[in-house]
Amino acid sequence: MKGDIGVIGLAVMGQNLILNMNDHGFKVVAHNRTAAKVDEFLEGPAKGTNIVGAYSLEELVEKLESPRKVMLMVRAGDVVDKFIEALVPLLDKGDIIIDGGNTNYPDTNRRVAALREKGIHFIGTGVSGGEEGARFGPSIMPGGASEAWEAVKPIFQGISAKTDAGEPCCDWLVTMVQVTSLRWYTTVSNTATCS
């Protein structure tokens, strides 16, 4: 059985998001540039779960169900562009790259446009709530290529925090300016409710 989503980046936020996805029944493929970090994660926090490792981008892509969903949990900036550049030749039209870092919205808009020309969907996704939120339910603010929303919606809404009424703290945002504004508001207000 192939993975529902691949996550690149095994710092604390990436690890906790992967564990959260696993807890909600999603099969996750974990990758890190450093192979030892993959082993450390699989033998530590992920031991006894359904999480599988990938030691190269090729292996990561091969282990994913189509349309492939690859989430980058790496530092914003050039690192994101380098991963995108390495992933694009491995992906098919209709596959999805998700940036879960704190990227500035003009960079996300640029990536959406550039990848659309190649038939690949790009989503910029704010993940708010810190390490604990990532593990037990963050507020998730996706925006970008709206064609990809239906493919990622079950995962993102499944793992997100819930309101008192049981509604997910995750919905599609029309523009990346909204994502940036909501991420800022959520961080500053530091409330347990979704806004």
Report CA-CA distances (Å) from 189 to 89, 148, 181.
41, 29, 12
For the stretch 50-75, pLDDT in tens is: 999 999 999 999 999 999 999 999 99
Mean pLDDT of 21-33: 98
**In the structure, what pLDDT confidence band is assigned to residue 180 with cuts at 50, 70 and 90?**
very low
Residue 195 falls inside a structural domain: no
Number of domains in the chain: 1
Domain that holds residue 91: 5-189
Whole-angstrom Cα distance, residue 154 to residue 167?
A: 13
Residue 79 falls inside a structural domain: yes
pTM equals 0.90
Q: List the CATH number of the domain containing 38.
A: 3.40.50.720
The Cβ of residue 84 has, within 10 Å, a number of other Cβ atoms equal to: 19
